[in-house]
Structure 1
Amino acid sequence: MRVIILAAGQGTRLRPYTNDKPKCMVELCGKSLVDYQLDAFKVAGVTDITLVAGYQEDKLVRKGVKKILNPDYAITNMVSTLMCAKKLFDGSSDVLITYGDIVYEQRILDAILAAKADICLTIDKEWKRLWSLRMENPLDDAETLKLEGDLIKELGKKANSYDEIQGQYMGLIKVSADKARELVKTWEGMDRNADYDGKDFNNMYLTSFLQHLINLGWPVKAVSVESGWLEIDTVEDLNFFNETLKEGMFDLFNCGA
């Protein structure tokens, strides 16, 4: 198993906490977001880990963890960052892709590592609980995710009703060794001048790329979980989870005051 952590972004919505460090190094209950992930990988016995860094990359150094740079981090988005590491999709190993600003319990990681599929991703079936804690109206932020059985047919669009959300994308994806090379070739064959959910090619979201694969007929499997994770997008998220985790209001980690 090979892991790629996407950690190039500037985290502008987390300023001033990201003024001098990458988003993934912001601390939650005294521990950086990326270190929660690295600890989970250690427990799972996963040692082949690469960080794709950009903003404040000199601050992002971890023993035994490789680093690849996205020199264009300021003008590109997730997929471009991922493809800075395309050499790792050589077909010799399954590849796990994870956002750098999420934190998850061990059981979440174990679930996707155990899943058998060409490409799969975790979805939170209890997503509304987390979104309701973070914001007054979850529909303002949550995106569509539609299933047929355990296969995802749509994701990443603006949701108009809860009926369009059968789970929430979490930013944790696994690609099999057999499909790794094809994934990169598919990206290389995409129209550089097309519009991808309102973004140009270099700034497309990872959900847009996944939807492109689905539209091409790739069977993208959902690995369903219930809660046990969080994402830190804003200062409000950080302050909220720092307080609720310490107070035991949100039972995710042992994060006592």
Structure 2
Amino acid sequence: MKASAIILAAGRGSRMKELTEEKPKCLVELAGKPLLHWQLSALRAAQHERILVVRGYASSCIHGEFETAENPHWASSNMLSTLLCAQSFARNVFEQGVDRLVVSYSDIVYHPAHVRKLLTCGTGIAITFDTEWEALWRLRFDDPLLDAETFHQEDGLLREIGGKPRSLADIHGQYMGLLSFDRSGWETLIQCCAELGDTLDATDMTGFLRWLLARGIPVGAVPVAGKWCEADSGTDIERYEHALAHGNWPHDWR
């Protein structure tokens, strides 16, 4: 299977505070490497032929052996708007015969096996979710329900996402910020974003997935178990470093 990838790296990551005063969130280091380098390594290990990084805040800091696009409105937009800045790239790779296009948030790290598994999903749009999410959320938060969102899937299809959970039973897993599209799924994305019109910039990715479900558009849900994490703050980084130092951490992605 031929695959390419887009990394959404336009945001600053204000909750990182001083760590992103002069560089974007994707360049904050974890386990000795910037988050972006972990993503690039995983995608290349999963045989992605071309990788595009969509830049925004402190864009001159982001350079390397990958293609780039710009979101000049990064400060007033979101992940979905940033993804649309990659339309030319996506159109080109699909014309060149790519089977699936993986989209990755830039504040996550993950094992290459998760990407490979995501590529096997047959729906036009697919996401990964972590079935072992609770241990990771308990490491990050005193009460995992305060930050976690509802997530239901059935027979490999997403049924619900993004609500406020009342109990752990409302959560089959947690969305990770890793998606994929085949050509028809990408065309669906573009069409649906056009339908959102002026509300696009106010619609985050989880809200967009809910919007798709409300219209009966199937979204594949691919389960993985651990071996990833999301770095949303300096405290996250500190706690992950501590967990890695003590060994045998189920969310160690390396």
State the TM-score, normalizing by the size of structure 2: 0.92
Give CA-to-partner distance per residue, 1:176-205, whole Å, 9 cap, x none.
Answer: 11222222011111242xxxxxxx531321
> What's the CA shift for 1:8?
0.6
Q: Tell me whether 1:160 sits opposite 2:157 in the alignment.
A: no
Structure 2 unmatched runs, 5+ = none
* In 1: Cα distance, 2:149 partner to 2:164 partner: 5
> What's the CA shift for 1:252?
4.2
Give CA-to-partner distance per residue, 1:149-182, whole Å, 9 cap, x none.
Answer: 2211111122222121111000000111122222
The one-letter code matched in structure 2 to 1:206 is: M
2:84 match? 83
Q: Tell me whether 1:30 sits opposite 2:29 in the alignment.
A: no
> What's the CA shift for 1:86?
2.1
Cα 1:21/1:208, change in 2 over 3 Å = same
2:12 match? 10
* In 2: Cα distance, 1:180 partner to 1:138 partner: 33
TM alignment of 1:107-256, pairs within 5 A: 107-192=113-198, 200-248=199-247, 250-253=249-252
* In 1: Cα distance, 2:37 partner to 2:123 partner: 28
Seq. identity, %: 36
1:197 match? none
Aligned length: 247
Please identify, of 169-178 and 158-167, the stretch whose mean Cα deviation from structure 2 is larger: 158-167
Give CA-to-partner distance per residue, 1:14-54, whole Å, 9 cap, x none.
Answer: 12111111101100011011101111122122121101110
> What's the CA shift for 1:247?
2.6
Counterpart contact for 1:96–1:173, Cα < 8 Å: yes
Structure 1 unmatched runs, 5+ = 193-199
Structure with the higher fraction of residues in helix conformation: 2
Spell out structure 1 runs of 4+ moving beyond 6 A: none
Once superposed, what is the RMSD of the aligned Cα atoms?
1.6
Give CA-to-partner distance per residue, 1:49-72, whole Å, 9 cap, x none.
Answer: 101110111000012x11111101
State the TM-score, normalizing by the size of structure 1: 0.91
Q: Tell me whether 1:96 sits opposite 2:102 in the alignment.
A: yes
2:21 match? 19
